[in-house]
């Protein structure tokens, strides 16, 4: 399953009401580190298909959700379970580190 683009309007339905854990990547088009981890997140979304949803929120296009979550730096990754944040990471990381983080939380 590819990553899911989430907006201010769809955040609650796609993330908070999801029946599986969701990793949310807050990113922007101009962010170099965001572009670095993008391909790894796409690969992980396929590897975790059906077990973990990976969602992406463009902070420039969806400032409401970014503000609500207190995003100060990107990329910012949040792991939601049952509608609640259970873990978060800020900054780029290699695929192996992202995979370890996700698998350690779900």
The catalytic site residues sit at 31, 34
Q: How far apart are alpha carbons 81 and 47 in whole angstroms? A: 18
Do the Cβ atoms of 21 and 49 come closer than 8 Å? no
Token readout for 28 is 């922007």
Give the single-character DSSP code of 16.
I
């Amino acid at each position: 399953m590819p990553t899911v683009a989430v907006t201010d309007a769809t955040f609650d339905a796609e993330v908070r009401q999801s029946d599986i854990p969701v990793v949310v990547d807050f990113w922007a088009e101009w962010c170099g580190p965001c572009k670095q981890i993008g391909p790894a997140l796409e690969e992980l979304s396929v590897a975790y298909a059906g077990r973990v949803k990976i969602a992406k929120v463009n902070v420039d296009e969806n400032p409401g959700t970014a503000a609500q979550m207190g995003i100060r730096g990107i990329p910012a990754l949040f792991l939601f379970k049952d509608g609640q944040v259970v873990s978060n990471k800020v900054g780029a990381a290699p695929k192996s580190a992202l995979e370890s983080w996700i698998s350690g939380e779900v």
